[in-house]
Amino acid sequence: MKGLWLENQQLQLKTDLPIPEPNKDEALVKVLQAGICNTDLELLRGYYPYQGVLGHEFVGVVEQGPQHLINQRVVGEINAVCGHCRFCQGVLLPIAKIVVF
């Protein structure tokens, strides 16, 4: 998998990132386009010691997951949460417990 990787305030296009394995009731999305927002630019400037793939705003197509989602176009939005998945229940995203759509 390809991704724009940030590490030590340096960007690198990686072409060998592992493809994630979705858990039950999760979906694997093939990203068609991703945006770089101001948060990504601030991370590049050293706002927070982040290491990983940038571009959390995206549009894609579901490749694996619940049958009713296969081949559906979807968007990624970090502020839209379910309140029930492992990410919303985790300690890393406490705001997700407050904002539930």
Which tens digits make up the pLDDT trace of 72-100? 998 887 666 677 777 677 655 444 333 33
The domain of 82 spans: 3-97
Distance of alpha carbon 49 from alpha carbon 57, whole angstroms: 20
List pLDDT tens digits, range 20-71. Answer: 888 887 899 999 999 888 989 999 999 888 899 988 888 999 999 999 999 9
CA–CA distance, 17 with 70 (Å, rounded to integer): 23
Q: Encoding tokens for residue 80?
A: 């839209």
In 1-101, where does DSSP find H-type helix? 38-44, 86-89
12-33 exposure pattern, b = at least 16 Cβ within 10 A, e = fewer: eeeeeeeeeeeeeeebebebee
pLDDT at position 18 is: 93
* Number of domains observed in the structure of the chain: 1
CATH number assigned to the domain comprising residue 42: 3.90.180.10
pTM score of the predicted model: 0.70
- Residue 73: strand pairing partners: 61
- 50 vs 90: CA distance, rounded Å: 18
